[in-house]
Homo-oligomer: A and B are copies of this chain.
Amino acid sequence: MAYNVVKRLDIVLIGAGNLATNLGKELYKKGYKISQVYSRTESSARQLANILSSAYTTSLDELANTADLYIVSLKDSAFIDLVPAITHGREKALFVHTAGSIPLEIWHQSPIARYGVLYPMQTFSKECEVEFKNIPFFIEAGRKEDLYFLKDLAGELSTHVYEINSEQRKHLHLAAVFACNFTNHMYALAATIVDQYQLPFEILLPLIEETVRKVHYLGPQMAQTGPAVRYDQNVINNHLELLKNDSIMQEIYEKLSKSIYQMKLKEQ
């Protein structure tokens, strides 16, 4: 994308959560102009606007009308309700949302002709800066020109840009919940166990790192180890006994062990 195009582009961010914050900061770093940030929560709007040297508002009535690109990063349920209000009177602009879970067709609920999706598949926290160039971006658009534009824009941020449809993206997002959110929860559950025995969580880090390293070489099915895959009923029963005072963890342990063993049987 030519430098002058970048400089001229007027972007509004709708949402100031984890994803909006990280994406906004990266766009700003690359020289893009974010003219306004909208969030219902004033502290979030102000905080992000400060970082991006932009204006902010907590009222949709004050949402800028003249931006070229509106990037919408809202909680899914809020977003669906707000589509008419945020698009109305801005029919010339390009609207994109950043959600893995929401189809392109969401924009059909509005009169706009230029719309798309810009989904960076990553786990974003406000407290943690992330290297954008390795993040896979998944794009989709109603019109070819806008697709090319999004390809260029995403290509400025990352070296991994893919065009996929809404059906694929929806399942990719589901896979991401398993690979990231649920994985992180496994770490959190492990942390609660070691905490109770005065062992630091850090003691688990070499194991966690090796688990990730291995999956690169072997893939997840070959890499599976532990009592469930060897069907070591003795260890499994002892572990279930250790968890007897925590019915949620006990059920999780049981379900996951069964699922591991069933997957192994299917492979054979």
Contacts and interface: CB of A to CB of B under 8 A. Distances in A.
Interface of A: 18, 75-77, 80, 101, 121-125, 127-128, 130, 134-136, 160, 162, 164, 167-168, 170-172, 174-191, 193-194, 196-199, 201, 203-212, 214-230, 232-235, 238-239, 242-243, 248-249, 251-253, 255-256, 258-260, 262-263
A233 B77 contact: yes
B242 A197 contact: no
Contacts of A182: 186, 252, 256, 260
Contact of A204 (B175, B185, B224, B234): B175
A167 B225 contact: no
Contact of A181 (B184, B225, B258): B225
Chain A interface mostly: helix
Nearest to A179: B190
B219 A194 contact: no
11 contacts: A121-B203, A122-B206, A122-B210, A123-B211, A124-B225, A130-B210, A171-B196, A175-B199, A175-B204, A182-B260, A184-B223
Given A127-B218, A175-B204, A181 B260 contact: yes
A230 B79 CA distance: 14
A226 B188 CA distance: 14
Nearest to A258: B248
Contacts of A188: 220-221, 224, 260, 263
